[in-house]
Amino acid sequence: MLPLDTLREIAKLYPTRANALDDWQREFVQDQLARLEKWGDDIRLSEKQAAALSKALDAMQAAGGEQP
């Protein structure tokens, strides 16, 4: 999944599954969602940021019983 797609999926799940994340992940995801809102498709993410987002998405999906 592309990093932008991962972030958009996180945006859908975040309101109901934020509690599946640790404090650092929650803060990181909030920052990235704010950047997405500001920059839209022009947002740029490093490989490390993309990996952190993927890990957060996996945690939120697992909390809901969904498989990636």
pLDDT tens column, 20-50: 999 999 999 999 999 999 999 899 999 999 9
Between 30 and 67, residue with greater pLDDT:
30
C-alpha span between 11 and 5 (Å, rounded): 10
Band of residue 68 on the pLDDT scale cut at 50, 70, 90: very low
**Burial class of residue 11 (count of CB atoms within 10 Å of its CB; 0-12, 13-18, 19+):** middle
Domain residue spans in the chain?
3-63
The tokens describing 58, both together, are: 């996996």
Among residues 34, 36, 38, which one has the least CA distance to residue 2?
Answer: 36
Q: Assess contact for 57 and 6: CB atoms under 8 A.
A: yes
Is the pLDDT score of 66 beyond 80?
no
Q: Please give the pLDDT value at position 64.
A: 83
How confident is the model at residue 52, as a pLDDT? 97
